[in-house]
């Protein structure tokens, strides 16, 4: 049996990625470059927020004391969110939306494929359900990487620019935090470090097919897993939390 605090921390490190990326995608509602991608982005947002709800409901149950999934989603401070920096990067243009999605989807699927064997039944169930959804997301983002990369000169340059910008945020995905260690020992969590090789291989395959290249990076950005975020996170959270902060306990 794992220490409860650590288990909660571990769940945040997975769930917060889905929340923040889901929030980013839902901001595109009505702003997608065309109707189909608009619908796709909001559909993926829905899947991610659905997964987030399952994780947070579980956390709320672990915490007890009448905590709800909404408290967890809306009422934490910035440093209490443990998502990776990658998912909080802004949707500068459509290339960034697709680049961010692709770089996260590949990791997300690898993670869930392992997490489905977790000894924690709830996490295993959420992962099993999520795999079906995330494989579809990955198919969507991979298709777009190829379409943009192998498209016109403008689309190629724009998606390459996004990949160059986002790639330095990927290394953090594989960092193992103190809470993760206990989760791994108890066979509840996944050792993210072991996913790196498959990740780089899977990303490279699509990137090459898309006639793109991965940048040579010497410096990788990290911090989100410790709660140290980029400046974008503050703006994102103020949008996300505004209603609950302004009208505490409001309900739809």
Side-chain half-sphere CA neighbours of 153 within 13 A: 0
Site string for other proteins, 13-42 (x = CB under 8 A): ----------------------xx--xx--
Site string for other proteins, 56-95 (x = CB under 8 A): ----------------------------------------
Among 133, 158, 162, 224, binds other proteins (CB under 8 A): 133
Pick the stretch among 67-75, 129-137, 146-154, 236-244 that binds other proteins (CB under 8 A).
129-137
The number of beta carbons lying within 10 Å of the beta carbon of residue 26 is 16
Among 6, 11, 53, 236, binds other proteins (CB under 8 A): 53
Q: How far apart are alpha carbons 172 and 61 in whole angstroms?
A: 29
49 lies in the site for other proteins, by CB under 8 A: yes
Identity of the residue, 27 or 172, whose beta carbon is nearer to other proteins in the bound complex: 27
Which candidate, 50, 44, 37, 32, places its Cα nearest to that of 135?
44
Identity of the residue, 140 or 174, whose beta carbon is nearer to other proteins in the bound complex: 140
| Token duo for residue 145 | 């990487």
Segment (H or E) for 39: helix 35-63
Side-chain half-sphere CA neighbours of 128 within 13 A: 10
Cα-based distances in Å from 120 to 59, 68, 130, 194: 13, 21, 15, 20
Among 136, 177, 181, 186, binds other proteins (CB under 8 A): 136
Residues that bind other proteins (CB under 8 A): 35-36, 39-40, 43-51, 53-54, 121-122, 124-126, 128-130, 132-133, 136, 139-140, 143
């Amino acid at each position: 049996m794992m220490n409860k605090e650590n288990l909660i921390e571990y769940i945040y490190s997975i769930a917060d990625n889905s929340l923040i990326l889901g929030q980013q995608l839902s901001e595109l509602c009505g702003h997608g470059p065309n109707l189909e991608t608009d619908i796709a982005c909001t559909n993926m947002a829905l899947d991610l927020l659905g997964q987030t709800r399952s994780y947070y409901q579980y956390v709320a149950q672990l915490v007890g004391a009448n905590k709800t999934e909404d408290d967890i989603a809306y009422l934490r401070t910035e440093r209490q969110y443990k998502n990776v920096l990658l998912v909080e990067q802004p949707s500068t243009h459509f290339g960034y939306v697709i680049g961010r999605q692709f770089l996260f989807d590949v990791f997300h699927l690898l993670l869930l494929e392992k997490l489905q064997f977790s000894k924690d039944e709830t996490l295993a169930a959420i992962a099993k359900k999520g795999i079906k959804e995330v494989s579809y997301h990955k198919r969507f983002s991979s298709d777009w990487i190829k379409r943009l990369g192998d498209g016109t000169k403008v689309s190629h340059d724009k998606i390459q620019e996004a990949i160059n910008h986002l790639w330095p945020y990927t290394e953090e995905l594989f960092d193992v935090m103190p809470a993760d260690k206990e989760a791994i020992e108890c066979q509840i969590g996944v050792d993210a470090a072991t996913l790196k090789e498959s990740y780089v291989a899977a990303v490279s395959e699509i990137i090459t097919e898309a006639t793109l290249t991965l940048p040579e990076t010497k410096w990788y950005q990290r911090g989100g897993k410790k709660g140290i975020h980029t400046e974008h996170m503050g703006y994102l959270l103020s949008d996300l939390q505004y209603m609950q902060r302004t009208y505490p306990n409001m309900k739809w």
